Amino acid sequence: MSARAPKASPVWRQADGKPVSCLEKIKVLNQNVQEIESLCADALEDGVLMGCDVDQIKAALHALIDGLKPPGAKD
């Protein structure tokens, strides 16, 4: 896997648009995103090594994210 330049962390916002100010919450959110990025990169690499189409794998990952429902959402 290739090394990537570190990305700037986003400004996490509440539903009303105000920034999240709790440093512990921000730390957890940033760690979660880093873990997800690593898992997605691993899945992409595995798929490519198995001969799958890169665009199809990326589309499947996008569909997975797009299909997530917020906690408490009704089906």
pLDDT value at position 30?
A: 96
**Nearest Cα to 15, choosing from 65, 64, 70, 75?**
70
Angle at which helices 54-66 and 23-49 cross, to 10° = 150
Sign of the torsion angle spanned by Cα atoms 39, 41, 45, 48 = positive
Whether residue 14 is predicted with pLDDT greater than 80 in this model: the reply is yes
φ/ψ of 10, rounded to 5, equals -70, 165
Model pLDDT, residue 7: 73
Convert the pLDDT of each residue in 20-71 to its tens digit.
999 999 999 999 999 999 999 999 999 999 999 999 999 999 999 999 999 9
